[in-house]
Structure 1
Amino acid sequence: MSDYVPISAEVSAEEIAKWTQPCRRQTDGMGLRVGNKAEFTLVAPLKPGGGAIFRERVKKAQVEAAYWEGRLGTVHDLRVALINDDTQILFAASYSDEFKPYVVDVIKFATPWIDYMFTDVAEGYPGLQAPGALDYIARHQVEASVWYASNEQATVRDIARGQKALTSLNDLLDTIQ
């Protein structure tokens, strides 16, 4: 990075180099990868009235989000939002896994929840169990242009294990005091 000129003159190229993450495209699908984490972004058109249906369902979808995403065990975060004046729906996630196993797991473990949010909302959405589901995903998936992931090697399971260890350590320290 000796020829690199940072955005801000207050930061040296050497300092930027310490923080640079190697970002690559997924090996088996669209989306960017940093370390063990990947991004998935889908932007689909809404059916007429789809925004109103989505808003009716959003509270229940939020209540159940942790259950359905927790079944996958690989999702770090997920956002589903109506965008562009209710003409499109955005589904954006980061996860620990390769692309194809992630999509297979979503279909296997979260179909009822995803279908609840997208059926009668997204134009042409066939349902995750339908033969055209993977074609629908491929047609509406977009790849991020810029993507950053903190702790890029940590999986969801690693983070959960670390949180459990930290809680145990804090309990032990509280007992000692």
Structure 2
Amino acid sequence: MEFFTVLPLTQLSGVMPKTCTLIRAHPFKPWWQRNSKPARFRCQKMYVPGFGEASPEKKAANNMHNFFTYIAVRIVGAQLESYNTEAHKDLMEFLDKNSLNDGDKFCAALMRESPRHKGLAMRILEVRSAYCKNDFEWDNLQRLASQMADESDTKLMRDYVLETSHDPRSD
């Protein structure tokens, strides 16, 4: 059995973000003259609990930043493979010993490895910035992410309905 609690409107201030405002149809008219419309909330954005240290967008931006470092390392590695095999070998050896999970830590460690590695790190930083600003298709990312969420939601709901509506006696 499911239970839920209905909070009076006076207690919602701790739950709702400060950007929300309560709109009542006619709060000071007698009940027989009031409109039957319920109270509505007008909010700018959806409140996401549990992200006190950073917004979901900030966390996504950090992940994208690290992803751009990964892309830049792949691009620089592919470029070096064709015209500077020694530098390519140095980069691949460094990559085997160091994680790319944190792009800034990776580049900082690469810079401090040796003067030759510093040049590789600078090239990676240039490519990372150029790729992010000029080549990455931000509109396509938004379209694909939205499309994937919609398709995934639909599939999960369809699978659930099929699973729960299946009559085991019909087998």
TM-score w.r.t. length of structure 2: 0.27
Query: Which has the larger share of strand?
Result: 1
Query: Which has the larger share of helix?
Result: 2
User: Structure with the greater relative contact order (CA < 8 A, sep ≥ 6): 1 or 2?
Assistant: 1
Answer with 1 or 2: which has the greater Rg. Answer: 2
